[in-house]
Chain A
Amino acid sequence: MTAAQQSPKAKLALYWAASCGGCEIAVLAINEKILDVAAAFDIVLWPVAVDGKVRDIEKMPDGSIDVCLFNGGIRTSEQEYMAQLLRKKSKVLVAFGSCAHEGCIPGLANLSTGQEVFDSSYKQGGSTENPKDVRPQHETPMPEGTLYLPVFYDTLKTLDQTVPVDYYLPGCPPEAENILVAVTAIIEGKLPAPGSVIGADTTVCDECPRKRNEKKIKKFYRTWEIKPDEETCLLEQGLLCCGIATRAGCKALCPQVNSPCIGCHGPNDGVRDYGARLMSALASVIDSDDPDEIDRIIHEGIPDPIGSFYRFSLAASQLRRRKLPAATSGAQKQ
């Protein structure tokens, strides 16, 4: 008997916070299997695809959604509200994709403040014309009453920094086959221990078919500086390939097409800080014992260390963000 014949059907919610929307598309990349999902679940909320209202979710009893796949980081008060609401209403909450898991690219805004993000969007942008310097305000009094916009935070939080999370599905976006594995496990009730990342527990190097020798690096290259050969390990060729520190599960997609791993699956089990792991590993392969030369190799080859080591995981790292200027408190001044 399939889950589809059970009655009543299990309830599924999908939500999208601070993310690009790619995770929503990735759900559809499981192709015709989406019909099995639709057969097994009532989709109660999926703003990008189906008509479900937040107010209806608010009226549901707590714990009445069986599974919620939540993608995106938490940057505004509205997103935090939705995370809290869906946590309360869901039996199983899955941090779906890199943004909910580790902050991902939106988390790199933690290098700036909310004010700086607004400056860049509403003032400095090349195509921005805003002579009156109009900015989004949390409250706008109008004759008919006050209008509210969500509060924009200085620091993007991951989903598990906001509410307790049951499972993590890594990737930017998660690969279709991994989504299918996770969804199947949910339908069949064969889930791993709560708190675990659903996926492999080895590194991308293990899945990478390239030839490996001893790694000794005299110079790091940026991807546009060299055309790497297609057989040898990319790191050995001086490209900053993150495969050594990154959780497997993608079948080494990027190295397979001659492009270094950028680390979207995040750290392996037991690693607390992805960037620290990567720094540690990369420092070991630098071929120099001279402090000045080491400094030169690092500074010339890695001009943007946070963008290189924490591209996907800054918000989830131990330091979480760049130091806040003392006088700052939010994009909207009240």
Chain B
Amino acid sequence: MSDKSVFEPKIIGFMCNWCSYRAADLAGTARIKYPANIRILRVMCSGRIDPTFVLNAFALGADAVMLAGCHPGECHYVDQNYKAMRRYAMLKHTLDQMGIEPERFRLVWASAAEGQQLAEAITQLVEAVRPLGPLNWPANWKENGHRLEALESILKEHQAAMEVQS
């Protein structure tokens, strides 16, 4: 993150305790490099990732979100990663209508042995988001510029309005 002219996206990663989080660990112990743009949060299962978490990450200013869990069929809790798969599809459909580019939200499967694959997926995500620029979601709520003047002018108008004497 040395060159300031290059946009460095902030990415939140929700990773399953039993596989992807360990894959990230493995990448570390094996000295496999991946970009420092991702902030990893450990969850007990990809099925624990409530769509609220993802929306909250975007609402707080994340540029992208990655979900990572065990390969289908290998869930520590039998089949919860299938729920993650369906929630991901549902959420992606909604984010699309909100105007959030599909590149900003990704689901990957990575077993505890796949440190290399996870590092590559993170690198790909960073490279895919970089050209999109910052998402900066909170700026969408910025107040209309002349709002405060308009509020003050109402009060002035009311004060200036003619009073009817009884």
| B128 close to A (CB within 8 Å) | no
B-contact bits for A188-221, CB 8 A (1 contact / 0 none): 0000000000000000000000000000000000
A272 proximity list for chain B (CB < 8 A): 52, 56
A-side contacts of B137, CB under 8 Å:
319, 323
Whether the pair A322, B97 counts as a contact (CB closer than 8 A) is yes
A299 and chain B: residue at smallest CB distance: B93
A330 CB to closest chain B CB (Å) equals: 4
Q: How far is the CB of B80 from chain A (nearest CB, A)?
A: 10
Chain A residues numbered 64-78 whose CB sits less than 8 Å from any CB in chain B: 77-78
- For chain A, give the interface size range: 35 or more
A157 and chain B: residue at smallest CB distance? B141
Provide the A55-90 mask, 1 if CB < 8 A to any CB of B, else 0.
Answer: 100100000000000000000011011001000000
**Please, how many angstroms separate the alpha-carbon atoms of A263 and B71 in the complex?**
35
- Judged by a CB distance under 8 angstroms, whether B35 is at the interface is no
Enumerate chain A residues within 8 angstroms of B82, measured Cβ to Cβ: 289
CB-nearest residue of chain A to B133: A326
The A-contacting residues of B in range 43-91, CB under 8 angstroms, are 50-52, 54-56, 58-59, 72, 79, 82-83, 85-87, 89-91
Residue A177 lies at the interface, judged by CB distance under 8 Å to chain B: no
A130 at the interface (CB under 8 A from B): no
Bound together, the chains give a CA A114 to CA B142 distance in angstroms of 13
A239-281 toward B: CB 8 Å interface, digit per residue (1/0)? 0000000000000000000000000000000001101110110
Q: Which residues of A contact B90 (CB under 8 A)?
A: 279, 282-283, 298, 305
- Interface membership of A155, Cβ < 8 A: yes
Q: State whether A276 and B86 are in contact (beta carbons under 8 Å apart), knowing that A153-B144, A322-B98, A329-B144 are contacts in the complex.
A: no
A230 at the interface (CB under 8 A from B): no
CB–CB B93/A77 < 8 A: no
Question: Is there a chain B Cβ closer than 8 Å to A309's Cβ?
Answer: yes
Interface contact B146-A298, CB-CB below 8 Å: no
- When the two chains form their complex, are residues B150 and A298 in contact, meaning their CB atoms are under 8 A apart? no
**A7 interface residue, CB < 8 Å from B?**
no
Q: How many A-B Cβ pairs are below 8 Å?
A: 130
Q: Which residues of A299-330 are within 8 A (CB) of B? A: 299, 302, 304-306, 309, 317-324, 329-330
Select from chain B the residue with minimum beta-carbon distance to A152: B144
Q: Is B153 an interface residue (CB 8 A)?
A: yes
Kindly provide the distance from the CB of A71 to the nearest chain B CB, expressed in whole angstroms.
20
Please report the C-alpha to C-alpha distance between residue A289 and residue B81 in the assembled complex, in whole angstroms.
10
**CB contact list, B74-128 vs A, under 8 A:** 79, 82-83, 85-87, 89-91, 93-94, 97-100
Q: Does B161 contact A (CB under 8 A)?
A: yes
Chain B residues in 8 Å Cβ range of A78: 154
| The residue from A138, A280, A322, A329 contacting B51, defined by CB atoms under 8 A apart | A280
* B50 to A, closest residue via Cβ: A280
Contact A114 B94 (CB under 8 A): no
Residues of B within 8 A of A (CB): 50-52, 54-56, 58-59, 72, 79, 82-83, 85-87, 89-91, 93-94, 97-100, 137, 139-141, 143-147, 150-151, 153-155, 157-158, 161, 163
A-B contact list, 13 entries, CB within 8 Å: A77-B154, A111-B97, A148-B154, A153-B143, A282-B90, A286-B86, A289-B82, A291-B89, A304-B97, A306-B94, A319-B55, A320-B141, A322-B99
Q: Which 4 A-B pairs have the closest CB atoms?
A: A323-B99, A77-B150, A283-B86, A276-B51
